[in-house]
Amino acid sequence: MSRFASGFLNGSPAALILGCCVVAACGADGAAGTAGDIQVTEFNAPVDQPAGHYGYGSDASDAEIAGWDIDIRPDGLGLPPGGGTVEDGEFLYEDQCAICHGSFGEGVGRYPVIAGGQGTLTESRPEKTVGSFWPYASTLWDYIHRAMPFAEPESLSDDEVYAISAYVLYLNDLVDYDFELNQGNLASIEMPNKDGFFLDDRPDVKNELCMNNCKDPAAIEITSEPVSLEVSEVSEVSEVPDVQVQSAAVVGKSPGESIYQQACALCHASGVGDAPILGERDAWAGRIAAGRDLMIASSLDGKGVMPPKGGQLQLSDEDIIAAVDYMIAQLAN
Ligand code: HEC
Ligand code: HEC
């Protein structure tokens, strides 16, 4: 993320070209008009220009594209010719990086630690550094080139980036002091955590997309409930069992409760958009005083940020009333 942010801060090249690309993308299949003379057709697209042009901007030049196309792949594709030694890198690093990241990569103040931490990833407070966490050395070259030093991204020459990358690898005990990093050998450096990343295999991610004969969305129920943990609750150990009881109760739920979970919990469990939170009496006191009928009417017709029926228009009025009654019942004990 940060690397893009830095690119923008620094970089008119990046920002400019992105602008061009956005325009080009919008124009992908439209007809177009000349600049300053835009006619709107029924498709809301200007006419009389080759497809793909709205009459704004110009094609990105090769130089502009080259300024933006600076990513380095794990297999080394994208690396420019050149190289640099650990020794050269030491001086450059001390000069341009140590003030924030520390002479040994230990991090000054709250600036990131970039060396050490190997073997800590499974601990409760893992230290994620270049050496302990990053799977590819190519990221190091890419990141330093793109984003560092923090205040002057893209100010280093290619050879300087090689040298500093070599030094950061050295600080992480991954290369020796006499090592030279270059276009030819960077991709062959094996990072300790290279096998620590894998495709998310949890069932909701791995599920196949249903393309036909799918379940009726209205019949799909959310079977677990987002649990809202107030900060005060978390800090009090004695409150934690209550939270578990709350989600265990899901098992034998009433119709009102299941509607609530399906259509209302999204906002009312967590307070999204200032929705009054389930069971929080203060948030509900005024509404209770105004009466159940008004609460039902608000739920059916919508109120403030809340859409009619919580946005689930396929639900019957009875469903909504059952959910409201369930919510009211949560204020009873
Ligand atoms: C003014 C302070 C400053 C200087 C100087 C600086 N950095 Fe950084 N560096 C940062 C900050 C802040 C971040 C975190 C940026 C973010 O996450 O958005 C960072 C992030 C990094 C990271 C990624 C850390 C991680 O694990 O995510 C590396 C590697 C890095 N810097 C290397 C360098 C190198 C090499 C230099 C010298 C060429 C340098 N930095 C100079 C402040 C600095
Ligand atoms: C998109 C978020 C959202 C969803 C989904 C949602 N609500 Fe709300 N709900 C709100 C907000 C925000 C308020 C407070 C509105 C206000 O006072 O301006 C609210 C207020 C209420 C109130 C109090 C009305 C009043 O008159 O003060 C009831 C009752 C209520 N919701 C029931 C439901 C029910 C039942 C569902 C599910 C069918 C539901 N809500 C779904 C956001 C939501």
Whose alpha carbon is nearest atom 34 of ligand 2? 264
At 192, which helix (H) or strand (E)?
none
What is the structure's pLDDT at 224?
74
**pLDDT score, position 245:** 37
Atom 42 of ligand 1 has which residue's CA nearest to it? 150
pLDDT at position 44: 53
The contacts of residue 4 (CB under 8 Å, 6+ apart) are 14
Q: Write out the H or E segment, with its range, that includes residue 85.
A: strand 83-85
Ligand minimally distant from the alpha carbon of residue 155: 1
Q: Residue type for 313, please?
A: L
Backbone φ, ψ for residue 20 (5° rounding): -60, -45
CA 310 to ligand 2 center in whole angstroms? 7
CA atoms within 13 A on the CB side of 61: 5
Query: Measuring from atom 9 of ligand 1, which residue has the nearest CA?
Result: 150
Strand partners, 34: 37
Pocket of ligand 2 contains residue 78 by CB under 6 Å: no
Q: Say yes or no: CB of residue 56 within 6 Å of ligand 1.
A: no
Ligand 2 in contact with 300 (CB < 6 A)?
no
**Which pLDDT score is estimated for 48?**
63
Write down the pTM of the prediction.
0.51
**pLDDT value, residue 43:** 54
Q: CA-to-CA distance for 308 and 313, rounded, in angstroms?
A: 7
The series of mean pLDDT values per 10 residues for the chain, 333 residues long, is: 36 37 39 49 56 75 92 96 98 96 95 95 94 96 96 95 98 97 96 91 77 85 71 43 40 85 91 90 93 95 91 92 95 80
Q: Which CATH superfamily is domain 217-329 in?
A: Cytochrome c-like domain (1.10.760.10)
Parse the chain into domains and list their residue ranges.
Answer: 2-68, 83-188, 217-329
Q: Do domains 83-188 and 217-329 have the same CATH topology?
A: yes
Provide the β-strand partners of residue 303. 306
Residues 177, 170 contacting (CB under 8 angstroms): yes
Classify residue 260 by its DSSP letter.
I
Residue 296 exposed, middle or buried by CB count within 10 Å (0-12, 13-18, 19+): middle
CATH number 1.10.760.10 given to 83-188:
yes
Ligand having the closest approach to the CA of 312: 2
Kind and range of the H or E element at 139?
Answer: helix 137-147
Per-residue model confidence (pLDDT) at position 297: 96
- 165 CA to centre of ligand 1 in angstroms: 12
Q: Cα separation of 264 and 61, whole Å?
A: 51
The response to whether residue 310 sits with its C-beta less than 6 Å from ligand 2 reads: yes
User: Which tokens is 324 given?
Assistant: 């409201």
The pLDDT value given to residue 57: 77
Q: What is the pLDDT of residue 154?
A: 93
User: What pLDDT is attached to residue 36?
Assistant: 56
Residue 41: the pLDDT is: 52
